[in-house]
Structure 1
Amino acid sequence: MDHAWTAAQRLAEGRPVREALGGRDSAADWVALDLAVRYPPWYAADRWVPPLPDRDAAPTEPGTALALCHRDGRIRGAALDRVSRYPDLLPLLVVRCTDWAAPVRERARALLAEAPPAGLVAQAELILLLDRRERGGFAAEQLGRALREGPAEAVHPLLESADRATRRFAHRVAVERGLLPPLRLARIAARSGDAVLQDLCAEAAVAAVRGTGRDDGVLGILLTGRSGRVRAAGVTALRRAGRYEEARAHLTDRSGVVRACARYVVRQGGTDPLPLYRELCAGEAVAPGAAAGLGECGDLKEDAGTLWALVRHPDPAVRAQAVNGLRALDAVRWEGLAPLLDDPSSAVVRAATRALLPHAAEFPVEWLRERDSPESRRAVRVGAQRLLRAAR
């Protein structure tokens, strides 16, 4: 707000809008300027109002900017017809498209509809920020039309925008228009940290493979994605490709969703995944996901013993997943898992705590309070506190 108020004062002094903003012209800066002119901060001069344009003097850019933000709707409306003279004031025209005064709003929208598409694309971040407002949809519709009907070169720069909403919007348009090849879609899905882009691009990449019948390494990229939802999309696509055997490698994935998808594909290929899990859990080198998977599809009578043995495995990741497997099998016994609340691994302590919450009332209160002490590790203290609360 301080920066926006400074910019408002500079405009009142007659300085150009770019100079007044001091090089800061993000979407949030334009919204803040609009509010600062209309609602000065508490430390502003008493009853400060932006100077009104002189009717006898030639219009100026600073005066028009202040008028566009004025608290009087008639002044804001009168200033709209001067916006076309000052391209740098296009952001304020976008803001006025969400104005609460209907005459101002409708006039601003009529002018924005005549704006060149390149101007709309340049204001994508502001348009999408204002799209969250109750009356903010018009400008977003105009932006969408400009991107869908305009040249592809207008879309590509927005794909790399620092603004998340802009990136998402641009990727949706790019997918709709088929501007991104399947390999690039797969790479975006595999590397992006944005769950929306992961789903959008993974689904589009899989659809492209399905449509053309050519993989070209797309599924391989998805199967190594950083997100479980991306890997799950790749595993599920193996079924349509008839590559059932490849799904076996993902039965022990660290993500439960991926393991479930892998079991589905393996079954579609005519193989029961349960014997595979039993074999994977029988040796010395046990993958953590194998223990979890055995619990997710195993038999209580036949497989609980295997998981109880893995609770004592030297690898803490296996111990934690064995606890999760027992929980999935509904084979938890509090006296068997209670010692894990003192496990050296915090991950194991957390897994044991989750599994033991339904059995909290069976714990001796003093035993838990001993672990809820300053001398205990944080994971142990938190686990004891959760169990004490659950036991009440």
Structure 2
Amino acid sequence: MARAMLGGGTDGVTDRLIGNGPEAWIAFDEEVRRLLRLRGAGPVERLEARLCHPDGRIRASALAAWRNPPLQLVLIRCADRVPQVRERARRVLGRLLANYPARTRDRARRVLGLPVADDLAYALTALTPLVLRLGGREHGGWAREQLEAALSGRYSLLAAWWRPGQPATTWSWNSLTGEQRGGMLDRLCGSADRPTRRFAARVALAVGRYGVRDMARRAAVEHDPATARMWTDAALAALAADGPDDGAVDALLGSRLPAVRAAGVTALRRAGRVAEADRYLTDPAGSVRACARWLLRQDGGDPHAHYRALLTDPERVSRYAVTGYCEVAEPADRALLRGLLAHPAGPVRAASLAGLRRTGAVLEDGVLLPLLDDSSPSVAREAALHLLPVAWRLDADALAARTGPKRRPHTRRAAFRLLRGRGGSPELRASVALLTDPDPGTRRWAQERVAGWNWLATLNEGAEARAELGELLARAAEQLGAHDLRLCHSPLGLAGRNPPA
């Protein structure tokens, strides 16, 4: 776009940048400057290019010559490294915004992509993401400070900058009204841009824009953990100050973020709803389960007994019930967990295996090896993790048989993990065999192992390993090539060529 404009294009560049976000305007500014540096000295006709010119004098003259420049480019110049350009851009921005409803409404609405409503608040809302991106520059904090001051209702310096010497309060006619500030904060808090939502949440909380239920709802629907934390902390503080509110607590409990749900569980005590704690003992998030156990203990309950009742009831046992039980389990509970290894649900079996490993239980190889063939990938993975510390004593041929193409992908991966734990020729043999595995993840894993293999070390394993090494080396080189096997200067005799197919 920048190259076409410098080449004499006539299309409005600002129209083509509409809706592309702040990064597009910043990238345009940088690209025009880069191209003009490469092109060298010469006249520049387009005002957009002059406003991004490497020469500060040309940028300043463009600001003076252009009656209604795009607000985004003027805003970028407000953070310019040249003081004269900076100051002029700030005066121009103040003039444009001061006269926005009367003089620049039609153009700004088109350039900013605004809806039918065309007041100053909508213009500032559209500019906010760019303001925040520029805030990280050395001179980029000015616009952010003015925006925050305007949203807070303290004052608006934007209009005062184009008439220096007069206090900002004299231009209150250009300040945002309370209704405009509220609508603007609502739109910014619902922005798709994460930095914008963080900024808006901080300002809204500082001015007390929302009540406890609104803050809890915003915490519940927020996907950014940092922003959600601000809303959550504010909601909890309001609950502590003003008393319980079931609507706010329910909103927190319905969040997708574990930290927000955990805060909601903690708030149940102040709301007098401790009896609901057992409902969250099986939450997918460990932090929520921990808060539920704390809440239950505060009421004199026993989390261990609740979990045990869940596990002994076939209708209520679940993956996270087992996980929560393992978090409070004692050595005497291992028998119950072992019994769940035969449960029909794969997630329950996997959670039981994980719990036994966490409690330090030692299971027999005869129990674990069949679980490598389990229909659930999570069960096979947990069984492999159990066996990994003792992989050296396992039958390499039996493990290699499980890496065959007729086995399930997760069984092949689990067996290969154990062969890697053994190391030596069995691992190399399996790695070469899996170079053509149909599963992309297993194939990539094998390729990485073969590519980094120390072939010379295999020569020291004995006559049997040496006899097989040539065949394995040829098969590996056929799949990966001698260069990828790092054999170009190897004393194995394959320098600079691949073995014949």
Q: Shorter-normalised TM-score: what interval?
A: 0.7 to 0.9
Q: Residues 76 and 262 of structure 1: is their aligned pair in 2 closer, same or farther, counting only changes over 3 Å?
A: same
Three-state SS of the structure 2 residue aligned to 1:129 is helix
CA distance in 2, matches of 1:82, 1:156: 37
Moved over 6 A (4+): none
Q: What CA RMSD, in Å, does the superposition of the two structures yield over aligned residues? A: 3.1
Q: Do the aligned partners of 1:50 and 1:70 also contact (CA within 8 Å) in 2? A: no
Q: Do the aligned partners of 2:14 and 2:70 also contact (CA within 8 Å) in 1? A: no
The residue aligned with 1:325 is 355
Q: Do the aligned partners of 1:187 and 1:222 also contact (CA within 8 Å) in 2? A: yes
CA distance in 2, matches of 1:100, 1:381: 59
Q: How does 1:370-381 map to 2 (within 5 A)?
A: 370-381=401-412
The residue aligned with 2:104 is none
One-letter amino acid matched to 2:14: R
Q: How does 1:190-269 map to 2 (within 5 A)?
A: 190-269=220-299
Is 1:99 aligned to 2:80, yes or no? Answer: yes
Three-state SS of the structure 1 residue aligned to 2:410 is helix
CA distance in 1, matches of 2:388, 2:233: 38
Is 1:18 aligned to 2:14, yes or no? Answer: yes
Q: Do the aligned partners of 1:304 and 1:326 also contact (CA within 8 Å) in 2? A: yes
Q: Residues 13 and 288 of structure 1: is their aligned pair in 2 closer, same or farther, counting only changes over 3 Å?
A: closer
Residue 71 of structure 1: CA displacement?
1.5
CA distance in 1, matches of 2:364, 2:79: 59
Residue 313 of structure 1: CA displacement?
0.8
CA distance in 2, matches of 1:279, 1:202: 33
The residue aligned with 1:171 is 201
Three-state SS of the structure 2 residue aligned to 1:311 is helix
The residue aligned with 1:79 is 62
CA distance in 1, matches of 2:94, 2:70: 15
CA distance in 2, matches of 1:174, 1:242: 29
- 1:90 aligned residue (64, 71, 85): 71
Q: Do the aligned partners of 1:27 and 1:126 also contact (CA within 8 Å) in 2? A: yes
The residue aligned with 1:280 is 310
Q: How does 1:129-144 map to 2 (within 5 A)?
A: 129-133=133-137, 136-144=140-148
Name the structure, 1 or 2, with higher relative contact order (CA <8 Å, separation 6+): 1
Measured against aligned partners, the alpha-carbon deviations of 1:9-40 in whole angstroms (never above 9, x if no partner) come to 4xx55655534x36455312211221221123
Task: Give the TM-score normalised by structure 2.
Answer: 0.65
- 1:47 aligned residue (39, 48, 56): 39
Deviates more, 1:153-162 or 1:143-152: 143-152
Is 1:66 aligned to 2:96, yes or no? Answer: no
Deviates more, 1:283-292 or 1:306-315: 283-292
Residue 69 of structure 1: CA displacement?
0.5
Gaps of 5+ in 1: 54-61
CA distance in 2, matches of 1:265, 1:385: 44
The residue aligned with 1:59 is none
Three-state SS of the structure 2 residue aligned to 1:239 is helix
Measured against aligned partners, the alpha-carbon deviations of 1:138-174 in whole angstroms (never above 9, x if no partner) come to 3333332332225212211222323222223223322
Q: Do the aligned partners of 2:151 and 2:203 also contact (CA within 8 Å) in 1? A: yes
CA distance in 1, matches of 2:255, 2:140: 36
One-letter amino acid matched to 1:188: R
Is 1:5 aligned to 2:3, yes or no? Answer: yes
Q: Do the aligned partners of 2:216 and 2:231 also contact (CA within 8 Å) in 1? A: yes
Aligned length: 372
Q: Do the aligned partners of 1:189 and 1:225 also contact (CA within 8 Å) in 2? A: yes
CA distance in 1, matches of 2:401, 2:346: 24
Q: Do the aligned partners of 1:334 and 1:356 also contact (CA within 8 Å) in 2? A: no
One-letter amino acid matched to 2:4: T
Residue 100 of structure 1: CA displacement?
4.2
One-letter amino acid matched to 1:34: D
Q: Do the aligned partners of 2:403 and 2:416 also contact (CA within 8 Å) in 1? A: yes
Three-state SS of the structure 2 residue aligned to 1:40 is helix
Three-state SS of the structure 2 residue aligned to 1:39 is helix
Deviates more, 1:231-240 or 1:205-214: 205-214
Residue 193 of structure 1: CA displacement?
3.2
One-letter amino acid matched to 1:30: W
Measured against aligned partners, the alpha-carbon deviations of 1:63-110 in whole angstroms (never above 9, x if no partner) come to 2x2222001233224434456x31x42211222244344554465457
The residue aligned with 1:125 is 129
Q: Do the aligned partners of 2:307 and 2:324 also contact (CA within 8 Å) in 1? A: yes
Q: Residues 376 and 184 of structure 1: is their aligned pair in 2 closer, same or farther, counting only changes over 3 Å?
A: farther
CA distance in 1, matches of 2:61, 2:70: 14
The residue aligned with 2:191 is 161
Q: Do the aligned partners of 1:357 and 1:387 also contact (CA within 8 Å) in 2? A: yes
Three-state SS of the structure 1 residue aligned to 2:342 is coil
Q: Do the aligned partners of 1:228 and 1:255 also contact (CA within 8 Å) in 2? A: yes
Q: Residues 242 and 173 of structure 1: is their aligned pair in 2 closer, same or farther, counting only changes over 3 Å?
A: same
- Of all paired residues, the percent bearing the same amino acid is 41
Deviates more, 1:255-264 or 1:132-141: 132-141
Residue 275 of structure 1: CA displacement?
1.8
Task: Give the TM-score normalised by structure 1.
Answer: 0.82
Three-state SS of the structure 2 residue aligned to 1:179 is coil
Deviates more, 1:112-121 or 1:93-102: 112-121
CA distance in 2, matches of 1:120, 1:391: 63
Q: Residues 147 and 338 of structure 1: is their aligned pair in 2 closer, same or farther, counting only changes over 3 Å?
A: farther
Q: Do the aligned partners of 2:17 and 2:24 also contact (CA within 8 Å) in 1? A: no
